[in-house]
Amino acid sequence: MARLTNVDDAKTLQTGANAMNRLIALLLMGVVIMIWGCGKGVDPKQQEKTALRFKMESLDGQEVDLATYAGKVVMIVNVASKCGYTSQYEQLQALHEKYAEQGLAILGFPCNQFLGQEPGSAEEIRQFCRLNYGVTFDMFAKVEVKGKNACDLYRLLTSLDTKPKGAGKIGWNFEKFILDRNGFVVARFGSGTKPDAPELISIIETELAKQAESAEPLTVPGAQRPQELNLADYLWKKRIVIAFVKSQSDTKYQSFRRDWYGRREGTSDRDLLLVEVFEEGESRLGDEIIAPASAEKVRNEFDVEPDTTTFVLIGKDGTEKLRKTEIDLDEIFEVIDAMPMRKREMKEKEQG
């Protein structure tokens, strides 16, 4: 090492060392900030929009608007048929059977991104789940849950700093996200946490105990100011199904609405229009909010008792064709298809 010959040389060397130390400190600070920024997720309380705003494809190829699950507590799980965690299907099905009537919905999303452990076709997945585990909860088409082609639903789910696991990419099959009745993510568990783990069950039961009407209103895409409703405007044009229910958490209503949105083609083919009249919450006609006074007028017009679930089918001639406390679309279609078609309808059918 060269010997310093004078004080000026010493000062120069010291100044250079100080500058180098400052540069190293700045670089280290930048690395820390970068790591902290990349790892910091969005607080679920600050989640701007419901996770139920997406549309996904069901296992049988139908488009499903996840908004149909509004009012339910939802568990979203990425699943696979050839994984060490595949036996969790059994526990998921058990949860479905125990809590579905209380408002729990389990959504399974097959994914083949982890060592190719979900190679089957949609039909193969369906058969595997039903034959081996008796799965009856809702299953969806294969999705990608990580990487540049990850679906928008999972991009949102993994961006949130949700306890206990926190933000970050999906690590393996059978990770679990729990959504409250408005579609806001309240918990995330890793693959190793079994569906019947006490800490997971505790969160499900806590969210189920919350009344849907006490939660913040779900924003319906395309919703506008409350509109006055005059059913006469739709007669001779549409057949109208009116669902009179207490709230969105009503299990009969939720089952019917999932069927409705899962079979949109059948509803449009038969010129069906859905009107939802809630005692608690905003009533709707399609994506439009119905003014409370109009909703009450419709309820009185059809003489529906409070605290009852009633489905009414109105024909294009304005007369009531069907009234039930429980109903499915097959029943509605049967009644409609048994009706004699008007000349205009017959002509449209022949031309179409």
> How many angstroms separate the Cα of 67 from the Cα of each of 56, 88, 256?
11, 26, 13
> What is the C-alpha to C-alpha distance for residues 336 and 262, in angstroms, rounded to an integer?
19
Cβ(77)–Cβ(92) under 8 Å?
yes
Active site residue 83: yes
> What is the C-alpha to C-alpha distance for residues 258 and 68, in angstroms, rounded to an integer?
6
Backbone angles phi and psi of 275, in degrees to 5? -115, 125
Active-site residue among 38, 83, 111, 129?
A: 83
Burial of 21 (0-12, 13-18, 19+ CB in 10 A): exposed
| Ramachandran bin of 281, using left for φ above 0, alpha for ψ from -120 to 50, beta for the remaining angles | left
Torsional sign, CA 294, 300, 306, 309: negative
Residue with tokens 């990487």, as numbered in its chain: 147
Residue 44: is the preceding peptide bond cis (ω within 30°)?
Answer: no
Of 137, 153, 152, 79, nearest in space to 112 by CA = 79
Query: In Å, how far from its chain's centre is CA 35?
Result: 31
Backbone angles phi and psi of 104, in degrees to 5? -90, 135
**Both tokens assigned to 293:** 């006074």
> What is the C-alpha to C-alpha distance for residues 162 and 141, in angstroms, rounded to an integer?
25
* Residues tagged active-site: 83
